[in-house]
Structure 1
Amino acid sequence: MAPSAHNGNTYLPFSEMIEVEKINDDTFRSIAPPFSPGGTGRAYGGHVYAQAVWAAAQTVKKGFVVHNVTGFFTLPGMTEVPFVYSVSTVRDGRSYCTRTVNVTQAEGKGICFTCTCSFKTVEDNRFDVQEEVNLEKEYGVVLEGKRPDDWPEAPGVDMSWYWRRREETGVNDDFPGLDARKVDMTAYNQPRTPFERRQLLYYRLIGTLPPDPNMHACAHLYASDRNSLFIVANHLDVGELFTQMASLSHTVVFHTPIADMMMMAKHDASARESGQEQDTRLWFCKEDWTNRAGGGRGIHQSRMWGPTGVHVASSWQEGMIRIGKEVRQDPPPSFKL
């Protein structure tokens, strides 16, 4: 599970991980290699998902911020070959604009990911309602007395065989871009049915970001795929049976004004004057669950919460999940280390 020269399993700041090289006005290329869960050579889908939107953001006018993304994963991503992002303009309106992005890697392999993303300008926020959920109260049985950084780093692969290997070796895949912490939900989930179970994942930036709201939004998009389909297998108690797992489609919708999605707090003037260092990175929380699986597929859903309880974004993901008949103690073929 040691990092390889051909993957991005290192604690790289998000701003460096998301950076793209401009080839022409509507074509961009990745620079940093993507994370590879388990170091298998397969790319983490969240990398191409977020970076495709960042490439599209380079083609929109100032003031337009992404609010909706739907993408389809059509071929496995490779870690040793850069992603090439080809952006097409669907429409430029006064309040909304739309882009499609087709992503390729090796020549002749075809499109490995395609998405449509919509950007919008800021509107007067006269109508803003949400379901009130107090995470500290709802999940008090596991969260009481705990801070986000009290929880361990999320595993590179959130499955039982990986947990055992991590416990035996102490080794976990370094995750670039974000500091992600997995809450132990055992006390909450144990008495509940599979569809009532929940998983909480706290996340914040590695490094800092400029005040570009599209880059901050892309950090949330990157987090939205973190160990997502594993929720389906774990909550439905088939983690020891699955033989194949891969993302098919993924949608994220942002609900909130720009200020609530920004991942860094503003510096306190008095602290700056006194020369005191401040960590302005904010913790956000991803709340995950599943409520349907069948036909070789499963659905993962999440809500992404800001530090003040604002519902920042929602995500829906469909993935291929194929189940075998026998319990396995080792990784399935797609995760051979």
Structure 2
Amino acid sequence: MNQALKELLDLLDLEQIELDIFRGRSPAEDVQRVFGGQVAAQALVAAGRTVPPERHVHSLHAYFIRPGDPAVPIVYNVERVRDGRSFTTRRVVAIQHGKAIFTMSASFHIDEPGLAHQATTMPEVPGPEELAPFPERMRQALADMPEDSPWRELLARPRPLDARYATPLTWEALRDPSLSRSTTNVWFRYESELPDDPLLHVVLAAYTSDFTLVDTVLLAHGQAWGTPNVSGASLDHAMWFHRPFRVDEWMLYAQESPWSSSARGLAKGEMFTRSGELAVSVVQEAMIRVS
């Protein structure tokens, strides 16, 4: 298991400080605010710890309210909204400096039979074995980045997962505007075999979902994070989990941006198993300002 994944799993092992109250920490960070995917993943861990293991999360709806401070712990307060015969609902508020920075509602469901169909299909893209790992793709981008850019160190860090792009990176489109497009396809997997705990795989999918989704909005305009004229933040995030899956096996994250205007951009994503089964649907809106 690589060190970055070990550190992530440690971040997700929240400390319980009281009934339905948990505390999480963040990695040392001086480049950006707390990563939104981390807050969502930790909040989902907190909610899941208050739900019987036979009930599995099927959806979450979240709002990012204030930027997170990586220098102090985050306290997660869980409210037990409802415990029904089939569904369980939890609300989580993440707090720093006495103020809410993030809220999330999550719904859990028992396994039961029902109607089944899948109308969407996985995009036809090269397999992950045919694509270069993310660090190789970023080398040229880092070479073009100003020497004093704080994003150099951030983008060069080891990641806890292997990501392989079947479409251009935002930094590639910044150099060559002809590569701009409103879709992104990324294969990803966590390289070490993980425990069978279904909640862990869902939590890591939530963490992963925030890595590249908003990039799809920037890619449509030939823009990229790390340039002096671009700033932004996630506003809200919603996910639906359709079937069991494993994030230590290859999954394709197919993303598109159908709209942007008024300093906001919308992006949608679908995560497919290697065999083409739709496992997760994602929607996110973000604030994006370009000067």
- TM > 0.5 between the two? yes
| Residue 199 of structure 1 pairs with residue 184 of structure 2 | yes
Greater strand content: 2
Q: Is the 8 A contact 2:267 2:284 kept in 1?
A: yes
Distance 1:193 1:79, change over 3 A: closer
Alpha-carbon contact 1:15-1:207 (below 8 Å) kept: no
Task: String of CA shifts for 1:125-161, please: whole Å, max 9, x gaps.
Answer: x4221125243xx33xxx2xx53474222699x9x97
CA contact (8 A) 1:229 1:245 kept: no
Unaligned runs of 5+ in 1: 1-9, 264-280, 325-337
Aligned to 1:180: 163
2: CA distance, partners of 1:24 / 1:284? 37
Is it true that 1:152 corresponds to 2:152 in the alignment? no
Which of 299, 309, 313 matches 2:280?
A: 313
Match of 1:59 in 2: 50
Where does residue 234 of structure 1 map in the other structure?
219
* Greater Rg by CA: 1
Deviations 1:237-290 (A, max 9, x none): 34468532100000011122x2xx233xxxxxxxxxxxxxxxxx3111111110
- What secondary structure, in the 3-state scheme, does the structure 2 residue paired with 1:225 have? helix
Letter in 2 for 1:22: Q
Question: Which residue of the other structure, out of 164, 178, 181, is the alignment partner of 2:144?
Answer: 164
When structure 1 is superposed on structure 2, of 41-50 and 237-246 the one drifting more is 237-246
- Offset at 1:164? 2.4
Secondary structure at 2:212 match in 1: coil
Q: Answer whether contact 2:22 2:46 (CA < 8 A) is retained.
A: yes
- 2:134 maps to a residue whose letter is E
1:36-86 residue CA offsets vs partner (Å, 9 max, x unmatched): 5xx514111000011101110000112011110111001111222121111
Q: 1:295 aligns with which of 255, 262, 267?
A: 262
What secondary structure sits across from 2:79 in the alignment?
Answer: strand
Aligned length: 277
Question: For residues 59 and 144 of structure 2, what CA distance do their matches in structure 1 show?
Answer: 38
1:213 is the counterpart of 2:198: yes
Structure 1 251/29 Cα, relative in aligned 2: closer, same or farther at 3 Å? same
Aligned counterparts, 1:1-337, within 5 A: 11-13=4-6, 14-31=8-25, 33-34=26-27, 40-105=31-96, 107-108=97-98, 110-124=99-113, 126-135=114-123, 138-139=124-125, 143=126, 146-148=127-129, 150-153=131-134, 164-165=144-145, 172-185=155-168, 194=181, 197-239=182-224, 242-256=229-243, 258=244, 261-263=245-247, 281-324=248-291
Asked whether the equivalents of residues 135 and 156 of structure 2 are also in contact (C-alpha less than 8 Å), the reply is no
CA RMSD of aligned residues (A): 3.2
Relative distance call for 1:212 and 1:42 in structure 2 (3 A) is: same
Amino acid at match of 1:294: S
Is the Cα–Cα contact under 8 Å of residues 245 and 320 in structure 1 kept in the other structure? Answer: yes
> Taking structure 1 as reference, are residues 208 and 42 closer, same or farther at Cα in structure 2, changes over 3 Å only?
same
- Alignment-mate amino acid for residue 246 of structure 2: M
CA distance in 2, matches of 1:289, 1:167: 32
Kindly provide the CA deviation profile for residues 103-126 of structure 1, in whole angstroms up to 9, marking residues without a partner as x.
012x23x111111011111112x4
Amino acid aligned to 1:113: F
| TM-score, length basis structure 1 | 0.73
In structure 2, the gaps of 5 or more residues are none
Q: Is the 8 A contact 1:50 1:218 kept in 2?
A: yes
The Cα offsets for residues 157-199 of structure 1, whole Å up to 9 and x where unpaired, read as x9x9757239999964335542323334489x988984xx421
Residues 298, 91 of structure 1: CA spacing in aligned structure 2 closer, same or farther, 3 A cutoff?
Answer: same
Partners of 1:315 and 1:83 lie apart in 2 by: 24
Which amino acid is the alignment partner of residue 27 of structure 1?
I
Identity %: 29
